[in-house]
Structure 1
């Protein structure tokens, strides 16, 4: 009776551990892509948590695929440990250099945009000043009739809805109560 092999040799385990460390470094590079996306578009904690959950889901799928492809569908704890070692090594060495370079690159691009658009700043300030004056003038035109309506209501004291207290309504309620009793 021929039985399937159920164990790994030491050399196979070392090879799998090395491959899982390499996979951890690849996972670190994928996380750097996510970090760059966060630098480009800053967002709130809920979206960050959703991105992290999605990333962990993708990591779980990739770990399962790794065990399917390289380890005869056998999941071993040292795969996860190897991933963690590879990720930490990537993060401390290459990842820190990559992120520092990317941050400097974005700072340089921002400074370049400021330099390019600096001549437009006085023009934009002039347009803003004109637009603000136009907005204030238009808002006064809109608000003036509304203020007149309020003044009319305040001057007409005989309107029931303009008074603070409606005594006719209270007298009517008293008469209705007296008639019911």
Structure 2
């Protein structure tokens, strides 16, 4: 009889551990959400996927540890594990890890900005040079364009005069 009780106690403790592990995984999702903002649709989708995977994990645990027999104390153990972890560690873990990751990201951004500063300086200088060159090309282009318009207008006048001359000479015969 004590062997059966030992198995039941082990199953109960395993249930508590699974409850804690499920909330640790959910905290990882919460940390990810704090670092990368999500719209409500994606939060809901993540929650649905989490609980779908969690239900499969719970089913496998119950199937392997208790031959698929759902016991009330197993569900109570998982809830107890979730409550213990949530009340004791969850807030600290989420805030702490989020702060650490955000600090690391901020440091990486600052390091990259320092590394890329010479390229930004070079880009500004090249932009000024190319801006100057572009304005010169634009002015030259507008001058050429106005000359082409003048040539086009005079060519059009000459063609009209030639057409009139041809028309007159054709009608005189």
* TM-score normalised over the length of structure 2: 0.59
Q: Quote the Cα distance in structure 2 between the aligned partners of 1:17 and 1:68.
A: 14
Matches within 5 A, 1:1-181: 9-119=4-114
Question: Which of the two has higher C-alpha Rg?
Answer: 2
Aligned to 2:70, the other structure's residue is in SS state coil
Q: Deviations over 1:63-104 (max 9, x none)?
A: 111111111210112222211111122223333333232122
Whole-angstrom CA distance in 2 between matches of 1:128 and 1:32: 43
Question: Is there any run of 5+ residues in structure 2 with no aligned partner, and where?
Answer: 139-173
Query: 1 CA distance for matches of 2:62 and 2:76?
Result: 14
- Comparing both chains, which one has the higher relative contact order based on Cα–Cα distances under 8 Å and sequence gaps of 6 or more? 2
Change in Cα spacing, 1:127 to 1:92, as seen in structure 2 (3 Å) is farther
Aligned residues: 131
Give the TM-score, by structure 1 length: 0.56
* Cα RMSD, aligned residues only: 3.4
Q: Which residue of 2 is the match for residue 159 of structure 1? A: none
Gaps in structure 1 of 5+ consecutive residues: 1-7, 142-181
CA distance in 2, matches of 1:119, 1:41: 24
